[in-house]
Amino acid sequence: MKLLVTGGAGYIGSHTVLELLQAGHEVVVLDNLCNSSLESLRRVQAIAGRSLLFVEGDIRNRTLLDQLFAQHQIDAVVHFAGLKAVGESVRKPLDYYASNMAGTLTLCQAMADAEVFRLVFSSSATVYGDPARVPASEESPVTNPSSPYGRSKLMVEQLLQDLQCSDARWSIGILRYFNPVGAHSSGLIGEDPLGLPNNLLPYLSQVAIGKLDCLQVYGNDYPTPDGTCVRDYIHVVDLALGHLRALQFISSRRGCEVWNLGAGKGYSVLQVISAFEQASGRTVRYVFGPRRAGDIAANWAEPSKAACELGWKAERSLANMMADTWRWQSMNPQGYR
Ligand code: NAD
Ligand code: WQD
């Protein structure tokens, strides 16, 4: 297939583009590079031994999208582009609704006009908010995401459902990722946050490499076995492979389906630190701090819908996720720079 991948230079996008190229697909990446570097795609092409077409631009640029769809016979769009920092979304809601919500709207309008009706969308477990019951299944309520970021994802999900209801030609896969971590086993591509990391694994690995002094564990008084929060960490390569399965699925039938992409298992922050120390052979300095606003005690996925319908499940263990994170961090102490 010939695929348009928006946000393909980013963390999850670059890993997915690599798997798509290795599976023989043709790839056009559209990315404005606001949170990524072209170096990721140079390395993706080197690993795959195949090239892709890169277009620098914004998903809100309708003229550019129309040109892209006119120039290329696109079979499906894999849509990663958007902003993803929960805390920043509270401070800059307009940026988040513009990029995530209005951006997706513009993309869908351009797709409809170009008669490209297949779309895989990056949603998030954040749409479950603080779930009344874990594991969260696709049927769990999604009424109360706790940030503008989460609400922008939920609004897009609703837009896509409405769109498919209005026109049966659409075939849409909504993927709710849990906590993506890890890196490609080559150590050549990985997560490269700008500035101070917000998420656990980039922070932890920057402490281990000596770039940051000490990890603050946000809260040890949660109602969990060791008092720290529990999450469903999923290896980014497993996640990438989930997109290939979703593409296969939406290419064979119409509709709008939602799938959780998670491992179906929860680990606490302390378990993650311990697994990382084992994988890296380094001691990670940490202190307990107060809870972080908006954090929930525990969430992990009920992953059986993806297993049944996509034939997909997460294969890579926590030890594997930690080893691959450490390989990427130690081979690239300055990320792509
Ligand atoms: P990322 O920031 O590494 O990748 C996003 C990419 O989109 C970047 O390359 C960025 O430059 C590009 N981009 C942003 N806004 C754009 C715009 N308006 N036009 C064109 N390009 C634009 O993030 P990621 O971790 O790879 O996440 C990819 C997608 O998955 C996002 O939609 C994110 O919300 C979603 N997601 C991520 C996580 C996570 O923890 N990483 C979890 C759940 C869902
Ligand atoms: C994991 C755990 C923290 C940093 C976020 C988004 C979610 C999704 C995935 C996009 C939590 C603890 C963290 C630190 C810590 N993204 N922690 N010290 O919050 O589960 O999910 O990323 O869709 O929407 O909210 O991930 O990696 O930030 O935190 O103790 O310095 O690590 O409290 O328990 P989170 P995270």
- pLDDT score at 326: 98
- pLDDT score at 83: 98
Question: What is the pTM assigned to this prediction?
Answer: 0.99
**Quick one: which ligand is closest to 101's CA?**
1
CA distance 131 to 13: 27
* pLDDT band with cut points at 50, 70 and 90 for residue 137: very high
* Pocket residue to mutate for ligand 2, from 295, 296, 321, 322, most atoms within 8 A of Cβ: 295
Sign of CA dihedral 157, 159, 165, 168: negative
pLDDT for residue 143 is more than 90? no
The CATH class given to the 2-181+233-262 domain equals alpha beta
**Quick one: which ligand is closest to 157's CA?**
1
Closest protein CA for atom 9 of ligand 1: 10
Pocket lining: 202 vs ligand 1, CB cutoff 6 Å: no
Quote the mean pLDDT of the chain: 98
Catalytic residues: 149
Question: Three-class SS of residue 245?
Answer: helix
pLDDT for residue 144 is more than 90? no
* pLDDT band with cut points at 50, 70 and 90 for residue 202: very high
Query: Strands across the sheet with 26-31, in order?
Result: 53-56, 26-31, 2-6, 76-79, 118-124, 171-177, 255-261
Closest protein CA for atom 21 of ligand 2: 179
235-283 pLDDT, tens per residue?
Answer: 999 999 999 999 999 999 999 999 999 999 999 999 999 999 999 999 9
Tell me how far apart the 2 most distant CA atoms of the chain are, in Å. 56
Q: How far is CA 18 from CA 15, 70, 75, 284, in A?
A: 5, 25, 18, 31
pLDDT for residue 7 is more than 90? yes
Contact 163, 108 (CB under 8 A): yes
CA distance 278 to 319: 8
Pocket lining: 262 vs ligand 1, CB cutoff 6 Å: no
| Strand-pair category, 233-235 with 179-181 | parallel
Amino acid present at 149: Y
- pLDDT score at 91: 97
pLDDT for residue 192 is more than 90? yes
69-105 pLDDT, tens per residue?
Answer: 999 999 999 999 999 999 999 999 999 999 999 999 9
Peptide bond into 135 cis (omega under 30): yes
Joined tokens for residue 85:
């920092």
**Quick one: which ligand is closest to 99's CA?**
1
- Ligand 1 atom nearest residue 149's Cα: 34
Closest protein CA for atom 41 of ligand 1: 180
